[in-house]
Amino acid sequence: MTGPAVRSDTTIGDLHWWDLAEIADNDARIFGPTAWTVSYYWAVMAQSGTAMFQARTASAGDSSAAVGGQRPSDSVGQRPSDSVGELAGWIVMSASGSEADVMTIATTEAARGQGIGRSLLSAGIDWARSRGAHVVHLEVDERNESALALYRSFGFEEWGRRSDYYPGADAILMQHRLPPE
């Protein structure tokens, strides 16, 4: 697997409840009518067996936003470093027994093509493996060439389709068997 190294000013960390409004805003911009609402994100976060990770980059000119740095404390206390900086992307995973799913993944438009999607998917797969998963599933719009290329580069393979799952397009069902470590 090749590809651009993720930017050195980017960190991947846990996604927290206080990030969800920002995530949902970005989700609406990226996914439009099929976006998850903030209440749906809350519901998924509350389920056991799910994990959410985010990528953030240091914002130019904002020393308080330096990745790894800390913002001044406010009424709710200091934010952990994984909530600081400019949002670049996120991934939501679920796992149960030996099976895991990529529930959603996105990189903000400004941050695409910089290895962030690859880093997020890698973090999601590592989490799935740590939960004992042997296979990771996902579904993707057949027209989504960038996502298909990303998934194939990780070894995901098509095993089925859902006809007309998206307006005017099939969903491709993919799985990736995790090699034993």
Ligand X SMILES: CC(C)(COP(=O)(O)OP(=O)(O)OC[C@H]1O[C@@H](n2cnc3c(N)ncnc32)[C@H](O)[C@@H]1OP(=O)(O)O)[C@@H](O)C(=O)NCCC(=O)NCCS
State the residues that interact with ligand X by CB under 6 A.
Answer: 2-4, 30, 105-107, 112-118, 140, 144-147, 149-150, 153
**Cβ neighbours, 10 Å, residue 124:** 26
Smallest gap, in angstroms, from Cβ of residue 38 to ligand X?
18
CB of 54 to ligand X, least distance (A): 13
* DSSP E strand boundaries for the chain: 10-14, 50-57, 86-96, 99-107, 135-141, 157-166, 169-177
CB nearer to ligand X: pick between 102 and 133:
102
**Residue number with the smallest Cβ distance to ligand X:** 117
Three-state DSSP class for 123? helix
Whose Cβ is closer to ligand X: residue 30's or residue 45's? 30
Q: Which is nearer to ligand X, 42 or 154 (CB)?
A: 154
Do 124 and 91 touch, CB atoms closer than 8 A?
yes
Taking the complex as a whole, the smallest distance from the CB of residue 73 to ligand X amounts, in Å, to 32
Q: Which is nearer to ligand X, 36 or 48 (CB)?
A: 36
**Smallest distance, Å, CB 153 to ligand X?**
5
Residue 15 phi, psi (nearest 5) = -95, 135
* Minimum gap (Å) between residue 2 Cβ and ligand X: 5
CA atoms within 13 A on the CB side of 114: 19
Is the Cβ of residue 3 or residue 155 nearer to ligand X in the bound state? 3
The sign of the torsion formed by the CA atoms of 77, 80, 86, 92 equals: negative
